[in-house]
């Protein structure tokens, strides 16, 4: 009799342990390893997870939003920021950026488009910067007469270099690399550019000390220059899927429990 009772206790305990272990495993959403994720803006700052050293990845990705959640090496895949026109925070310490050209060249069309198509002969250099309806590039700008940037004040060739499509254009017709879009954006967005130089606007990762090495985020890593107004939202930043809400406390069936069950005032 006793033996049976003990056995049943042991058995039920074992079952309980196995079940709770199973529940723990099922709740742990991060068991799904996401390899391809994005840093700041979706479809604009991709990064691939890989191990820098065994058990130490370059990034950890969220299984919910597929955004980067953690940097194992903040300087992974970066290059020096390069010359900047004005002495500022980036002049001290080491300022590095993740180059934008590999992203622009993700379909291996960067060189083909700039050298084979926009070579001045196949596609002639336009005589004027006046907006006109484009048949091409609808994946980037669906309607070229309704560019979601500058509210009708600017058009493609205010930023893209008409003479050399592999570059952007500065105020004097000079070339700006796609890796340094801040030089271009600063032409118009002066106060934002100033805040960015001082580390108030935008994002930097790495070392907090002013002399420390930092990776600076450049404009196009967060903002989509071809859709910066975001239509009615009128915001520079596109919407993102959020991470999961916290677990409800034990015994709380829903978030409105107090108000629904116990009346107003709670």
Partner 1 sequence: MSKPKDKDGKNTGTTRRDFLRKAGYAGAAALAGSATLMANTDNPDSQATWAEWFQGNYRLMTDQEKKEAIERLEKRYSAQYGKKVTVDDAPAIDGVLFGYALNIQKCIGCRRCVKACVKENNQSRTNTEIEWIRVIRMEKGQFSLEDMDKGYPAEAGFDHGVQVGGNAYKPAGVVLEGQHYYQPKKVPEKDAFYFPIACMQCEKPPCVKVCPVRTTYRDPDGIVVIDYNWCIGCRMCIGACPYWARRFNWGEPNLPKEEMNPKTHYLGNRPRMKGVAEKCTFCIQRSRRGRYTACVEVCPVGARKFGNLLDPESEVRRILARKRVFRLKADLNTYPKFFYFID
Report the C-alpha gap between 211 and 94 in whole angstroms: 8
| Interface characters, 26-65, with partner 1 (x: CB under 8 A) | -xx-x--------xxx-------------x----x-x-xx
CB atoms under 10 Å from CB of 220, counted, come to 23
Q: Which residues, other chains included, contact 228 with Cβ-Cβ below 8 Å and sequence gap of 6+?
A: 148, 149, 236
Query: Whose Cβ is closer to partner 1: residue 138's or residue 233's?
Result: 233
Query: CB-wise, 118 or 215, nearer to partner 1?
Result: 215
The candidate with the shortest Cα–Cα distance to 100, out of 154, 37, 176, 193, is 176
Map residues 126-165 to x or -, x wherever contact with partner 1 holds by CB under 8 A. ----------------------------------------
Cα separation of 234 and 230, whole Å?
6
Q: Nearest CA to 100 among 82, 86, 73, 116?
A: 82
Which residue, 42 or 164, is less far from partner 1 as judged by CB?
42
Is residue 230 classed as helix, strand or coil in its secondary structure? Answer: coil
Query: In terms of CB distance, is 40 or 161 closer to partner 1?
Result: 40
Contact residues toward partner 1 (CB under 8 A) are 23-24, 27-28, 30, 39-41, 55, 60, 62, 64-65, 67-71, 74, 195, 198-210, 212, 217, 222, 233, 235, 237, 239-248, 255-259, 263-266
């Amino acid at each position: 009799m006793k033996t049976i009772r003990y056995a049943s206790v042991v058995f039920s305990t074992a079952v309980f342990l196995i079940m709770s272990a199973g529940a723990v495993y099922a709740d742990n959403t991060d068991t799904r390893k996401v390899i391809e994720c994005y840093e700041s803006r979706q479809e604009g700052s991709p990064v691939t997870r890989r191990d820098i050293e065994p058990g130490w990845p370059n990034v950890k990705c969220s299984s919910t939003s597929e955004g980067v959640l953690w940097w194992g090496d903040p300087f992974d895949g970066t290059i020096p920021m390069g010359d900047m026109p004005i002495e500022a925070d980036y002049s001290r310490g080491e300022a590095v950026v993740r180059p934008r050209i590999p992203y622009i060249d993700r379909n291996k069309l960067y060189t083909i488009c700039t050298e084979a198509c926009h070579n001045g002969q196949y596609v002639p250099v336009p005589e004027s910067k006046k907006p006109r309806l484009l048949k091409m590039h609808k994946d980037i700008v669906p309607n070229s007469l309704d560019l979601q940037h500058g509210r009708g004040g600017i058009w493609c060739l205010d930023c893209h270099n008409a003479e050399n499509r592999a570059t952007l254009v500065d105020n004097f017709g000079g070339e700006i690399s796609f890796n340094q879009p801040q030089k271009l954006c600063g032409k118009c967005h002066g106060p934002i550019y100033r805040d960015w130089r001082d580390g108030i606007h935008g994002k930097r990762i790495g070392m907090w000390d002013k002399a420390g090495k930092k990776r600076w985020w450049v404009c196009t890593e967060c903002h989509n220059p071809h859709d910066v107004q975001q239509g009615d939202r009128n915001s520079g930043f596109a919407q993102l899927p959020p991470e999961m809400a916290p677990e409800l406390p034990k015994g709380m069936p829903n978030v409105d429990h107090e108000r629904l069950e116990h009346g107003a005032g709670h």
